[in-house]
A = this chain, B = another copy of it.
Amino acid sequence: MPLYPFWKIRSLLALQYRTSCTITSGNRRKTVTNTEDARFRNCERRIRDALADLLQTKSLTDISVSELSRKAKVSRATFYVHYDNVGDVFDELVGEVMDNVLSFEERFSCENPGCAMHEKPRYCERVRSEKKLAGVVREARFFPSVMALAWEDPDAKTDAATRGINPVVMRAVRLFQMSGCHAVASSEFAQRNDWPRIRRAIDAFIEGGLRALEKA
Stretch of A22-30, A65-73, A130-138, A198-206 that contacts chain B: A198-206
A109: interface (CB < 8 Å): no
Q: What is the distance, in angstroms, from A203's C-beta to the closest C-beta of chain B?
A: 9
Within 113-145 of A, Cβ neighbours of B (below 8 Å) are at 113
Copies of this chain, whole number: 2
**Interface SS of chain A:** helix
Nearest residue (CB) in B for A200 is B216
Nearest residue (CB) in B for A194 is B168
Known: A197-B169, A198-B169, A209-B209. A175 touches B204 (CB 8 A): no
A192: interface (CB < 8 Å): yes
Instruction: Identify A213's interface contact among B166, B182, B197, B204, CB under 8 A.
Output: B204
Contact: A172 with B211, CB < 8 Å? no
Q: Which residues of B contact A192 (CB under 8 A)?
A: 168
The number of residues on chain A lying at the interface, defined by a beta carbon within 8 Å of a beta carbon of chain B, is 38
A13: interface (CB < 8 Å): no
Contact: B187 with A216, CB < 8 Å? no
Known: A209-B212, A213-B208. A172 touches B198 (CB 8 A): yes
Q: What is the distance, in angstroms, from A101's C-beta to the closest C-beta of chain B?
A: 17
Contact: A175 with B197, CB < 8 Å? no
Instruction: Identify A183's interface contact among B166, B179, B197, B200, CB under 8 A.
Output: B179
Interface readout for A168-197 with B: 1 if CB under 8 Å, 0 if not? 110111011111111110010100101001
Pairs across A and B, CB under 8 Å, 15 listed: A166-B201, A168-B189, A168-B192, A169-B197, A171-B189, A172-B201, A175-B183, A179-B180, A201-B213, A204-B212, A207-B212, A208-B208, A208-B211, A208-B212, A209-B212
